[in-house]
Amino acid sequence: MRETWRSHVYDVLAEHELRSRARTIVSATLVASIVIGVALAALITLPDLAEPQRYVFIAIMRIVTGVFTAEYICRIWIAPESDPTGDRKPAPARWRYLGSFLGIVDLVVIVPVWLSVALPLGADLINLSMLPALLKIARHTTSLPLVAAVFRNEGRSLLAGLMVMLVLLVLVSGIMYLLERSAQPQVFSSIPATMWWAIVTMSTVGYGDMTPVTPFGKVFGGFTMLLGIAMFAVPAGILATGFATELRKRDFVVTWHTVAKVPLFASLDATRIAGIARLLKTQVVPAHQVVVRRGEPADAMFFIMSGEVEVDVLPTPVRLGKGQYFGEIALIRETTRTATVTTLGECQLLTLDVTDFRQLTAQHPDLRDAIQRVAESRVGSQNSEPPKPS
């Protein structure tokens, strides 16, 4: 029974694609606790905050800390369920969680509050310890893990760009020091002091606390600004390319898993599924919307990933659901649409346009034959009994 309860808690807390009402409630509670805790940690620093309000804020923050403590204990308990080897050995799995980045963040958020029970810690340290809780939101959104993945993938390129910027920073500081030290010995007193000017100039911030006054210094300062714009464009371009690549990779992985769940493609190997995934496009259609209409030109077929559609065929309309497909008859026969298809609720569809359909069926005759058989059975059943879902 203990293992069963632990697996249930794991399904609620762990980061995976499983969706349930309990998981939604717990996730919403944790996100709300993070937002409330961080907001109160910021508001409590207001100098004109009344004491009664301060006490209320502190009390709420203690409740939030209690929620985080319960979460931390549960995550230690369920850690063996995430063992990639399947052995579910408690000690190694729990040490992996405790040593992970988010495991350390979970601990840092709650430790100052509990230490304050026995040690005279400053109020500011206790209150501001809630700020790292913002990092915990990475479990509930794809944004922060996406940023981390981009920096990890582009680390070598970013490091190379950073090294070039550091070299230029030292060279620019040395040259400006030589140009301005005679005119402004107190401002440009040394190369390390001049590095501050180089940083704010290359970043085009320009605080104005250190400015060249000699003609050569002004000319070189203008050149440094242009150089700074060019240098900061390098890491920006690297990151932009990294984000685009990572998003394409994640979209492809999601589409691959989605295609693999379609019964028509379930028997294919990973390579063939990958080729099909590149041809399909995701489409979300609201409820009660016409996807295809009888008599219109056929430009695509559709695979249903979620939701239901109704096919308006005689003598009885037919409902199709997850894993089924429609729109193939007109493509095979190269005619107009033979039926109107309407969504019954919001549907997620994978679209295969006519050009890719012909390419796919030419490359995979077995798929063409399977689609052909289903299409023929549907056409034949329209004149006799309601067609069976494919």
pLDDT of residue 87: 57
Q: Are 183 and 213 in contact (CB under 8 A)?
A: yes
Both tokens assigned to 362: 């030419």
Q: Radius of gyration (Cα) for the chain, nearest Å?
A: 31
CA atoms within 13 A on the CB side of 3: 6
- Fold match, 2-140 / 270-381: no
155-247: which CATH architecture?
Answer: Orthogonal Bundle (1.10)
Give the burial string for 100-137 (b: 16+ CB within 10 Å, else e). eeebeebeebbebbeeeeeeeeeeeebbebbebbbbbe
Whole-number pLDDT of residue 272: 76
pLDDT top residue among 297 and 375: 297
The secondary structure of 183-241 as a DSSP string is: T-TTTS-SHHHHHHHHHHHHTT---SSS---SHHHHHHHHHHHHHHHHHHHHHHHHHHH
Least confidently predicted of 40-44, 48-52, 89-93: 89-93
310 strand-pairing partners? 319, 342
Mean pLDDT value of segment 317-343: 86
pLDDT at 280 over 90: no
Cα distances (Å, whole numbers) of residue 200 to 161, 167, 204: 18, 16, 6
Q: Is the pLDDT of residue 54 over 70?
A: yes
| Stretch among 38-52, 246-260, 360-374 having the lowest mean pLDDT | 246-260
Question: What kind of architecture, by CATH, is found in domain 270-381?
Answer: Sandwich (2.60)
pLDDT-derived band at 172 (thresholds 50, 70, 90) equals very high
* Better pLDDT: 223 or 140: 223
Q: Is the pLDDT of residue 386 over 50?
A: no
Domain 2-140 classification at class level: mainly alpha
Contact (CB, 8 A) for 284 and 346: yes
CA dihedral of 331, 334, 337, 339, whole degrees rounded to 10: -70
How do beta strands 340-343 and 309-312 pair? Answer: antiparallel
Q: Does residue 146 contact residue 243 with C-beta atoms inside 8 Å? A: yes
* Least confident window among 96-110, 115-129, 162-176, 180-194: 115-129
Confidence class for position 17, pLDDT limits 50, 70, 90: low
Q: Pairing between strand 309-312 and 281-285?
A: unpaired
* Cα–Cα dist 327/363, whole Å: 20
pLDDT above 50 (res 212) = yes
Average pLDDT over residues 59-69: 90
State the Cα angle at 17 between 306 and 132, rounded to 5°: 135
Residues in the chain: 390
Identify the DSSP state of 129. T
Give me the sheet containing 325-326, strands edge to edge.
281-285, 347-353, 300-306, 325-326
Q: Residue 302 carries which DSSP code?
A: E
**If you write DSSP's letter for every residue of 327-376 in order, what string do you get?**
-HHHHHHTSB-SSEEEESS-EEEEEEEHHHHHHHHHH-HHHHHHHHHHHH
Integer Cα distance of 285 and 291 in angstroms? 8
Per-residue buried b or exposed e for 143-164, using 16+ beta carbons within 10 Å of the residue's own CB? ebebeebbeeebeebbeebeee
Task: Report domain extents, the chain.
Answer: 2-140, 155-247, 270-381
| Pairwise CA distance, residues 2 & 10, whole Å | 12
Query: What mean pLDDT value characterizes the chain?
Result: 83
Residue 123 has pLDDT above 80, yes or no: no
Query: Is 174 a residue whose pLDDT tops 60?
Result: yes
Is the Cβ–Cβ distance between 292 and 349 less than 8 Å?
A: no
Higher pLDDT, 390 or 60: 60
Alpha helices in the chain (DSSP H): 2-13, 21-43, 51-78, 90-99, 101-115, 123-128, 143-153, 155-180, 191-202, 215-260, 270-277, 328-333, 354-363, 365-381
* Residue 356 · residue 303 · CB < 8 Å: no
Return the percentage of the chain with pLDDT > 90, whole number. 22
Higher-scoring residue by pLDDT: 117, 134: 134
Write the DSSP symbol of residue 155. H
